[in-house]
Amino acid sequence: MLTAVVYSNSIGNGFTWDDGGNVTENSAIQKISYANLRILFTTSFLGMYVPLTMISYSIDIAIAGLNPQLFHFTNLLFHLFNIILVFYLM
């Protein structure tokens, strides 16, 4: 619950410094297609190999375009899900 309270503040924020190369200027996530999925699984972006993150970005764009609030909300949900997983693993 504490994580939800702390990170919920991020939902109202815009994109940050690394979102240009990862999101707004990344043509591979603008449309979900076989060719783009292949790019996401074979390419690193800004020195990071994160295909599942990029697929998440693609889904966010398909739902709401370049709306930073949805990106932050999705990120919050992933954080909360990971906390629940750690809790049950402990």
Q: For residues 68 and 14, is the Cβ–Cβ distance under 8 A?
A: yes
Residue 89 pLDDT greater than 90, yes or no: yes
Count of alpha carbons within 13 angstroms of residue 76, beta-carbon side: 19
Buried b (16+ CB within 10 A) or exposed e, 30-58: beeeeebeebbeeeebeeeeeeebbbbbb
Residue 11 pLDDT greater than 80, yes or no: no
Give the model confidence (pLDDT) of 41-77 as tens digits: 998 888 889 898 889 989 988 998 888 888 888 888 8
Residue 28 pLDDT greater than 90, yes or no: no
